[in-house]
Structure 1
Amino acid sequence: MEENLEDWKNDRPWLKHYPFEVSQTFDYPQTNVARILLDSARDFPNKEAIDFLGKSYTYKELLRLCFKMANALRAIGIAKGDRLAIMLPNCPQAVIAYYAGLMAGAIVVQTNPIYTERELHFQLADCGAATLITLDLLLPRVLKAREGTAIRQIIVTSLSDGLPFPKNALYPIKRRKEYPELKVKYKASDGVLRWSSVLRRGQETPICEEVDAETELAMIQYTGGTTGRPKGVMLTHANLLANTLQLSNWCYRLEQGKESYLAALPLFHVFGLTVLMNQAVYKAGTLLLIPRFDPKLVLETIRRRRPTIFPGAPTMYIALLNHPSAQKDDLRSVKICVSGAAPLPREVQEKFEQLSGGRLIEGYGLTETSPVSHCNPIWGFRKSGTVGIPLPDTDVRIVGEESLDPLPIGEIGEIAIRGPQVMAGYWDRPEESAAVLRDGWLRTGDLGTMDEDGYFTIIDRKKDLILAGGYNVYPREVEEVLFEHPAIKEASVMGVPDPYRGETVKAFIVLKEGWQVSEMQLDRWCRDRLAAYKVPKHYEFRNELPLSLIGKVLRRKLKEELEEKVE
């Protein structure tokens, strides 16, 4: 037994760096995810649950609205296991729709509001959703996209439904001014229902569907599609609850009923959903909802509400650092910033910590892990440039192409993860599920290394690896060097065809305002810091890079643009 215990510790060198307050294993609840809202509303009924641009909802009020919407969904035909698509920005209705859908027993499908008609049609057809909740501004696109799908009813809301007076009265005027071409006309016979009418018909009777948490799905969450076609990730109630508890215990200094979460990350993304919405509700905290990331609005919200937690993407922290009023504003209420979704440049981490006085730590995960698998200790030993160590009950290995046997320490290989937050598989894609899931291990497709302390460094996506003249070039390594240049605001690197080398390195650059730099200067900068084969051969200067709403560079879009130019 002692020998087995010693082997267990040797396989998990990261455990020696766990803070004393963080347990290495937990008992996870086997229930409906929505139960976390019922528990917080029971224990903190009068605690503020949501602030939306000045409109406030207590936990008691939020629960009442969720019960009403859950019963209303049942009344219009939503049955256990039906897919309920939600296509909303950060607003109170997004929170209500999510928990109400789970209470009714539906499988929630979060949909990106900026999807094109084609992208939306694919997702709705793929998941087989029968009902969609969306924004009035998005209705014309939704009506076109639903053709040929199983969507039979659309519930339409407006941002004004969640705004305080007088903003709710002024919003329709503002909308007409900004979108003069938009005339949303619909009738009930089209299967379009008004959010307020549906909610009014719902009973306040308590409802929360019993589920087998290990096997029954809470969500089908689509991958970002940054490198290819999105896949529906099947996440069970147990997956989401496990990741919520793992993160809550990682942030062990946070107090129940006393924290406020700056919700600039979109809740329809799995990062925002778990690290913000589920996390805040589990801790009975206040969600400070921001409909879309706007540096000015974020700074105003920090000034007005003094949030304590600010999860974000690197592009958000970069935007705030470059905002003219950031240096004047007091950001020192923020205790914790967790960065994810894209690599965090070291320079950005250091500067934002100086500005806020809080801890900005990098984590790692993917949709398939609900999403977080790694995080640097917030108040313990952290290593800059790494994504930290695995969360409790999470095993991670660096493996080769053929087997799941761990590679030697320091060697580059594919990251494989096993834990209670790992998905059940891909929706309606058994072959693709089998390709990445084996014996409980998920092959992530990400390349990385583990050091002797169990800290992991992400090298790059396996698909993004550049093979230049027989040498491996990892885009992230080149991007880190470019980010160090004082003139560069954003950078993305990818491989492009080359008749001699097979592939060569191309860099897409966004300069800081007022700065100028030549290709020759950047070439010299990179040659002083990189081996010759890693130095970009081509540079393209842009005003902006194509980003997802979470702030991840869409390399797929860049590749499509290059292919169009070639054609």
Structure 2
Amino acid sequence: MRLSLTTLLSEPAHRFPERTALVCGERRYTYARLWNEVLEHAGALRGLGVGEGDRVALVAGNHVEFVRCYYAALAVGATVLPLAPMLTAEEVAHLLGDSGARVLLSQERFLETARAAGEQAGVAVHPIGPEEEPGTVAALARREPPLDRPVSRRPEDPAVVLYTSGTTGRPKGAVLTHLNLVMSATVNAFDNHPFTREETVLGCLPLFHTFGQTVALNTTFRLGGTLVLHDRFDPHAAIDLMRAEGVTVFLGVPTMYSRLAEAAADSGPASLPSPKFCISGGSALPVALLHRFEEAFGTVVYEGYGLSETSPTAATNQPEFGARAGTVGHAIWGVEVEIADPAVEDTVTLLGTGDRGEIVVRGHNVFAGYLDSPEATAAALQDGWFRTGDIGIKDESGYVSVVDRKKDLVIRGGYNVYPREVEEVLARRPDLAQVAVIGLADDELGEEVCAVVVPAAGAEVDADELVSWSRTRLAAHKYPRRVEVVADLPLGPSHKVLKRELRARLQHR
């Protein structure tokens, strides 16, 4: 059997050649044009010596250059390693060495870092564009003969390696197969949400990240819809773009929803777009924020759950079951999501309905393992299940709720405190734009609960008042005794709050 992720673009190019596939700034690309340019770029990569089984690192923003190189590398039979553009040269060099990448393709604005990393790692660096500049991949694509057809691949062959964010240590490369990613895009497109082939999707999620790559890029192409790229997320610009392009589907992480809700208050309801539906993932979306966003934009938000290792969607709220705020819905088609005993580490022991434990996932979306890391793979994949490291509950109706990350659990005086529970309560306050709850070391209690908050625009937050307010709404072991008011929260490449960085910053203050 043969299967390639490139089919997600080649098929609509055959079936709907004149339909708009991609909008990038002022440029619009039909499926036929985009696929032809992918084959031309694949010819360029072949001219650079890239072939079947090679690993191609790619650093680019939300731009057509990312899309062309991503599918071009897959077309020559290579495995793609999308890298976050904001990494340092040292961090990129480590990933190049760890992955055994053959080449690094870089957008022009990231070339300085890319070249420094390539020199450290001994890996050739090639600028992607512009096409009028000799030596770029785009220029070579105009001279080399294009690829006739994509290299045939097997379903189990690696397609993409996504490096985890490293919240538990050094980043690990999650190996995703062609089957993983084709199935994920297909199930997202036709089973999880009320997509149609006429959708226009706003692509503001970074394409190097699993959420933007699978749910925005690959899923939109699987539909034959239109993806509107938005680089360097700005809420006011995103609202303008949604209006101008008639965006019907918005995808985002909670920090984006928070900033859009704030921007909506400035814009007024008459000037706001109203997407058909929205999808949230990446981290927990506070229920208060979900309702505030839905009311402002006149839409519905389907919150989902997944990880790089699950391609990424494992569970999501779905129209067939009804969206239930505060949950991540049901397991997706063909996938099992259950709750296991987190104390049993050498095997997966499933718990009963309503029991709190570690979320485990089994199905077509689960990755092949960590690149060249058999011990880490064996710890994560047990008895056919992937151990997520997240704590959750599954109710009698099949709805899954994510309580928190096992690693983020705060143990205060012997009592477990799940940061998300505290964050949900604090998020009800209109004077708070963002909230992150962490545990800080305490000599007497082991850990103390600390709330780090960003005030809403124009609001002033009194830390002592917030502690008193929390005390009346949370159990004695849960309410934060320490409150830090900050201008912003540290965000990772995928716009997740970096709680590890917050802990390091505040521990000795």
Report the TM-score range of the alignment, normalised by the length of the smaller protein. Answer: over 0.9
Distance 1:385 1:252 in 2: 18
**Aligned with residue 187 of structure 2, among 246, 263, 288:** 246
2:120 matched residue in structure 1: 148
Task: Output the aligned Cα RMSD.
Answer: 1.8
Amino acid at match of 1:255: T
Alpha carbons of structure 1 residues 87 and 205: separation in structure 2 relative to 1, 3 Å: closer
2:348 matched residue in structure 1: 404
Amino acid at match of 1:136: E
Amino acid at match of 1:242: M
**Aligned with residue 556 of structure 1, among 492, 500, 503:** 500
Offset of residue 548 of structure 1: 1.8
SS at match of 1:70: helix
**Aligned with residue 308 of structure 2, among 357, 361, 367:** 367
Amino acid at match of 1:218: A
Is residue 480 from structure 1 mapped to residue 424 from structure 2 by the alignment? yes
SS at match of 1:147: helix
Offset of residue 406 of structure 1: 1.7
Offset of residue 111 of structure 1: 0.3
Query: What are the equivalent positions in structure 2 for 1:446-525 lying under 5 Å apart?
Result: 446-525=390-469
Alpha carbons of structure 1 residues 117 and 328: separation in structure 2 relative to 1, 3 Å: farther
Deviations 1:305-343, CA, capped at 9 Å, x for gaps = 1111111111111111111225342312x1121100011
Tell me, yes or no, if the aligned pair for 1:495 and 1:503 is still in contact at 8 Å: yes
Amino acid at match of 1:366: L
Offset of residue 72 of structure 1: 1.1
Offset of residue 219 of structure 1: 0.7
Distance 2:109 2:268 in 1: 32
1:81 matched residue in structure 2: 53
Offset of residue 150 of structure 1: 4.1
Is residue 33 from structure 1 mapped to residue 5 from structure 2 by the alignment? yes
Is residue 219 from structure 1 mapped to residue 160 from structure 2 by the alignment? yes
Deviates more, 1:344-353 or 1:219-228: 219-228
1:526 matched residue in structure 2: 470
Is residue 337 from structure 1 mapped to residue 278 from structure 2 by the alignment? yes
Deviations 1:5-42, CA, capped at 9 Å, x for gaps = xxxxxxxxxxxxxxxxxxxxxxxx95100012111000
Amino acid at match of 1:202: E
**Aligned with residue 312 of structure 1, among 215, 235, 252:** 252
Deviates more, 1:323-332 or 1:42-51: 323-332
Deviations 1:496-551, CA, capped at 9 Å, x for gaps = 11010011111111101211121221112211111111111211111100012322
Q: TM-score, normalised to structure 2's length?
A: 0.96
Amino acid at match of 2:222: Y
Is residue 56 from structure 1 mapped to residue 36 from structure 2 by the alignment? no
Deviations 1:442-497, CA, capped at 9 Å, x for gaps = 01000001111111110111111111100001111111111111211111111111
Tell me, yes or no, if the aligned pair for 1:139 and 1:156 is still in contact at 8 Å: no
Amino acid at match of 2:502: L
Tell me, yes or no, if the aligned pair for 1:374 and 1:391 is still in contact at 8 Å: yes
Distance 1:97 1:205 in 2: 13
Q: TM-score, normalised to structure 1's length?
A: 0.86
1:395 matched residue in structure 2: 336
Offset of residue 259 of structure 1: 1.4
1:263 matched residue in structure 2: 203
Offset of residue 44 of structure 1: 0.4
1:107 matched residue in structure 2: 79
Amino acid at match of 1:201: R
Tell me, yes or no, if the aligned pair for 2:463 and 2:485 is still in contact at 8 Å: no
Offset of residue 268 of structure 1: 0.6
Q: Which runs of 5+ in 2 are unaligned?
A: none
Is residue 203 from structure 1 mapped to residue 175 from structure 2 by the alignment? no
Distance 2:196 2:416 in 1: 46
SS at match of 1:310: strand
Distance 1:281 1:62 in 2: 11
Distance 2:203 2:271 in 1: 19
Distance 1:550 1:326 in 2: 28
Tell me, yes or no, if the aligned pair for 1:312 and 1:338 is still in contact at 8 Å: yes
Alpha carbons of structure 1 residues 381 and 553: separation in structure 2 relative to 1, 3 Å: same
**Aligned with residue 387 of structure 2, among 425, 443, 452:** 443
- More relative contact order, 1 or 2 (CA 8 Å, 6+ apart): 1
2:136 matched residue in structure 1: 194
Offset of residue 205 of structure 1: 4.1
1:10 matched residue in structure 2: none
Is residue 378 from structure 1 mapped to residue 319 from structure 2 by the alignment? yes
Q: Which runs of 5+ in 1 are unaligned?
A: 1-28, 162-167, 169-186
Is residue 425 from structure 1 mapped to residue 369 from structure 2 by the alignment? yes
Deviations 1:30-59, CA, capped at 9 Å, x for gaps = 510001211100000000111112211111
Offset of residue 379 of structure 1: 5.5
SS at match of 2:120: coil
Alpha carbons of structure 1 residues 424 and 61: separation in structure 2 relative to 1, 3 Å: same
Offset of residue 380 of structure 1: 3.9
Deviations 1:63-100, CA, capped at 9 Å, x for gaps = 11000011110111001111111100000111111111
Distance 1:558 1:123 in 2: 24
Is residue 296 from structure 1 mapped to residue 236 from structure 2 by the alignment? yes
Deviations 1:73-132, CA, capped at 9 Å, x for gaps = 011100111111110000011111111110011100000001122221221111111211
SS at match of 2:250: coil
1:353 matched residue in structure 2: 294
Distance 2:108 2:127 in 1: 9
SS at match of 2:393: strand
Deviates more, 1:115-124 or 1:488-497: 115-124
Distance 2:237 2:167 in 1: 27
Tell me, yes or no, if the aligned pair for 2:115 and 2:125 is still in contact at 8 Å: no
Tell me, yes or no, if the aligned pair for 1:398 and 1:406 is still in contact at 8 Å: yes
Is residue 47 from structure 1 mapped to residue 36 from structure 2 by the alignment? no
Tell me, yes or no, if the aligned pair for 1:128 and 1:150 is still in contact at 8 Å: no
Alpha carbons of structure 1 residues 422 and 100: separation in structure 2 relative to 1, 3 Å: same
Amino acid at match of 1:62: L
**Aligned with residue 327 of structure 1, among 269, 272, 275:** 269
Distance 1:113 1:538 in 2: 35
Distance 1:374 1:424 in 2: 19
SS at match of 1:457: strand
**Aligned with residue 96 of structure 1, among 52, 58, 68:** 68
What is the percentage of aligned positions where both structures have the same residue? Answer: 38
Tell me, yes or no, if the aligned pair for 1:369 and 1:421 is still in contact at 8 Å: yes
Alpha carbons of structure 1 residues 562 and 327: separation in structure 2 relative to 1, 3 Å: same
Amino acid at match of 1:198: L
Distance 1:251 1:363 in 2: 10
Amino acid at match of 2:248: T
Distance 1:362 1:437 in 2: 25
Deviates more, 1:429-438 or 1:542-551: 542-551
Distance 1:114 1:425 in 2: 26
Deviations 1:336-388, CA, capped at 9 Å, x for gaps = 21100011111121122222222211000000000000001135422210000
- Deviant stretches of 4+, over 6 Å: none
Amino acid at match of 1:343: A
SS at match of 2:155: coil
Amino acid at match of 1:539: V
Offset of residue 251 of structure 1: 4.6
Amino acid at match of 2:439: G
